[in-house]
Structure 1
Amino acid sequence: MIRCVNTPDATAAPDAAGASAPARPADTVAVPEGHVTAVVTADGPDRPGVSAAFFRVLAAHQVQLLDVEQSVFRRRLSLGALIGVDPGRLGVLAEGLTETLRDRGMAVEVTTEGVDAIRQASTHAVVVLGNPLEASDISRIGQVLADYGANIDTIRGIADYPVTGLELKVTIANPRPGGGVPLRKALAELAGESAVDIAIEREGLARRSKRLICFDVDSTLITGEVIEMLAAHAGREAEVAAVTERAMRGELDFAESLHERVAALAGLPESVLDEVAESIRLTPGARTTIRTLKRLGYKAGAVSGGFIQILEPLAKDLGLDFYRANTLEVVDGRLTGRVVGDIIDREEKARSLRRFAEESGLGMHQTVAVGDGANDIDMLSVAGLGIAFNAKPALKEVADTSVNNPFLDEVLFFLGIAREEIDQADREDGTARRVPLG
């Protein structure tokens, strides 16, 4: 298939007054006088040598390359070039490409229509994650984007495990600071109504400049609540769990609730701390997330309203760069039911994140915070990107985005890191493994 559209002079078009006006914007690369710009595309099965043959024909006709894009999707190749060429060669160029690529199953098109369109950088990235992800989900997201004047520029698959993920690069109608707020709210509402996670973030260097991540611990980095595990040894798990739930919802002052819950541990032998530490289970994807981010040069750490006696061995096992938590008082080998030192409440979590960033020589816009409860509100609010992980409503309201699946590696996808990149790095150092789901 070939469509060759020839215009007598594609470099100029008459304006309303009859004068000539440039068909191409002045800020594009100039082509020699008397040449035209054209778009050349080839589509078909991906085979070795197709691109080489494509450019060999262009070279034979002294073509100037202005822009090129190539992609392969499931062994289907799409190759396009914006070129500057002598208009007298367009016909023979099209014939040459068709003849050369016919045996390779490629469809060729050469046209001078639409060549004045400028390739512009997208303003935002939208990441959509679902398990499963349905066409209807993308349809609804696409409609919301259209309703707010946003154009989808490109779409790529970003994850096939443990969830399906797509990354949409979009250009919004009002790219000025704050211009994307209405769209962000609309997408957040859609995510709340559906079974998918949606994140939108400004595209560009700022998105790729993140270099520090800080996790909450209980029900974020690990499954479960440590204080409830400790309370189970005292036969008071249900009582303590009820107080924890109210604190995480923001109904109780955290410091007050902490003292109340810790008092229930009075008299327990210190050995209980080791037993609980050994029984800790990481949230699925935690090791993958930390390992991957540290490969990229991230600093990784944790700030917990829990206890340093539990967090410290975990932090050393994961190779965390920093960590903070409350300290349980132990006297004569038994817990006293009190904590010593500063209480790690929501304000202190935010201060800790700022301190970690400052010590690492990073700005707050380069930080990511992940948490699940009201105690994490301040930390997520000051971070460059705040992610609510299977969180209480109070935290979701202030977070930049929410994860509603039980997989911590969704954080990587929100940062624009593709599953295939993660798996490739894991294969290279022998850590690759996929745990069966469900």
Structure 2
Amino acid sequence: MCCYLPLPPGGRIMTTLSQTKEIFRRADAVCFDVDSTIIREEGIDELAKFCGVGDAVTEMTRKAMGGSVTFKTALTERLSIIRCSREQVNKLITDHPPQLTTGIKELVDTLHQRSVKVFLVSGGFRCIVEHVATQLSIPLQHVYANRLKFYFNGEYAGFDETQPTSESNGKGKVISMLKEKHGFKNMVMIGDGATDLEACPPANAFIGFGGNVVRQQVKEKSLWYVTSFGELLKELEKI
């Protein structure tokens, strides 16, 4: 998978591994996927297990992350199986809070110390992702994720289909919007899945992450593929 370095007027060049690392070292913004990247599990799979329909939903997640079905189709089908209530979601977060991946807090803290803006761009659910953001001292306005909808009695009522993260290429749309809004020159996307890979471009570089699960398509197409956040911390130490 090739992304692009910013160039003076006149053209663009394909990035190499060394250029990808350079973009990361001088990034002004880094976007992280959440499920199986910043946290160890897939939030929607954990919700499905909690609601007693884990096996059926796990298979759909595998297809979605592998890129064999569109993300919105997979999301719609999985949620139609789960049909979680507001109470179930809240109880999941209380009883089984998301588990941070080893090294992510140190990496985010280091990026913040270097005045790098950190964003969470997730196909998961905002109610869970906000909990993760708080643990990492990431402002909630830097969270882009899907919103579950509930009826007044708390029963499942669908999801907000206007959110860009509910669609394939949605993460790329978020990155384009952030670039336009903030003027970022070097944005990096880090994640484990096909929806993360396809966000580059518009991201200037993509780093595949296999610390929790290895998705072969992503590994094969990533110029830089890491299995621990310690590898990224070491790269920042070279500055």
Please give the TM-score of this superposition, normalised by the length of structure 2: 0.82
Contact kept in structure 2, 1:381 and 1:399, CA below 8 Å: no
Q: Say whether residues 1:394 and 2:211 are aligned partners.
A: no
Deviation at 1:224, TM superposition (A): 0.6
Name the residue aligned to 2:65.
248
Residue deviations 1:338-380, cap 9 Å, x none?
21232413311011112223333212xx111101111112213
Name the residue aligned to 2:9.
none
Distance 2:229 2:21 in 1: 22
Deviation at 1:337, TM superposition (A): 5.5
Aligned length: 219
Task: Give runs of ≥4 in structure 1 deviating > 6 Å.
Answer: none
Secondary structure at the aligned position of 1:379 is classed as coil
Residue deviations 1:147-183, cap 9 Å, x none?
xxxxxxxxxxxxxxxxxxxxxxxxxxxxxx56xx7xx
Q: Say whether residues 1:286 and 2:104 are aligned partners.
A: yes
Structure 2: which amino acid aligns with 1:392? R
Distance 1:286 1:335 in 2: 34
Structure 2: which amino acid aligns with 1:410? E
Name the residue aligned to 1:332.
152
Name the residue aligned to 1:370.
190
In structure 2, the CA distance between the partners of 1:329 and 1:308, relative to structure 1 (3 Å rule), is: same
Residue deviations 1:254-312, cap 9 Å, x none?
1001000011222x331222233342101111110100000001000111111111112
Structure 2: which amino acid aligns with 1:324? Y
Secondary structure at the aligned position of 1:338 is classed as strand
In structure 2, the CA distance between the partners of 1:392 and 1:254, relative to structure 1 (3 Å rule), is: same
Name the residue aligned to 1:317.
135
Name the residue aligned to 1:383.
203
In structure 2, the CA distance between the partners of 1:358 and 1:388, relative to structure 1 (3 Å rule), is: same
Higher strand share: 1
When Rg is computed on C-alpha atoms for both structures, the one with the higher figure is 1
Larger RCO (CA within 8 A; separation ≥ 6): 2
Residue deviations 1:5-45, cap 9 Å, x none?
xxxxxxxxxxxxxxxxxxxxxxxxxxxxxxxxxxxxxxxxx
Identity, % of aligned positions:
27
In structure 2, the CA distance between the partners of 1:335 and 1:392, relative to structure 1 (3 Å rule), is: farther
In structure 2, the CA distance between the partners of 1:375 and 1:398, relative to structure 1 (3 Å rule), is: same
Residue deviations 1:313-344, cap 9 Å, x none?
32233222411111111113434252123241
Please give the TM-score of this superposition, normalised by the length of structure 1: 0.46
Secondary structure at the aligned position of 1:375 is classed as helix
Structure 2: which amino acid aligns with 1:367? M
Contact kept in structure 2, 1:307 and 1:327, CA below 8 Å: yes
Runs of 5+ consecutive residues of structure 2 not aligned to the other structure = 1-12
Deviates more, 1:381-390 or 1:215-224: 381-390
Distance 2:168 2:93 in 1: 24
Distance 1:361 1:382 in 2: 13
Q: Say whether residues 1:216 and 2:36 are aligned partners.
A: no
Name the residue aligned to 1:229.
46
Distance 1:207 1:393 in 2: 23
Deviation at 1:411, TM superposition (A): 2.2
Deviation at 1:223, TM superposition (A): 0.7
Secondary structure at the aligned position of 2:19 is classed as strand
Higher helix share: 2
Q: Say whether residues 1:408 and 2:229 are aligned partners.
A: yes
Distance 2:20 2:122 in 1: 29
Structure 1: which amino acid aligns with 2:232? V
Distance 1:272 1:389 in 2: 30
Alignment of 1:73-88 (within 5 A): none
Residue deviations 1:97-118, cap 9 Å, x none?
xxxxxxxxxxxxxxxxxxxxxx
Structure 2: which amino acid aligns with 1:375? T
Secondary structure at the aligned position of 2:162 is classed as coil
Contact kept in structure 1, 2:72 and 2:168, CA below 8 Å: no
Structure 1: which amino acid aligns with 2:93? A
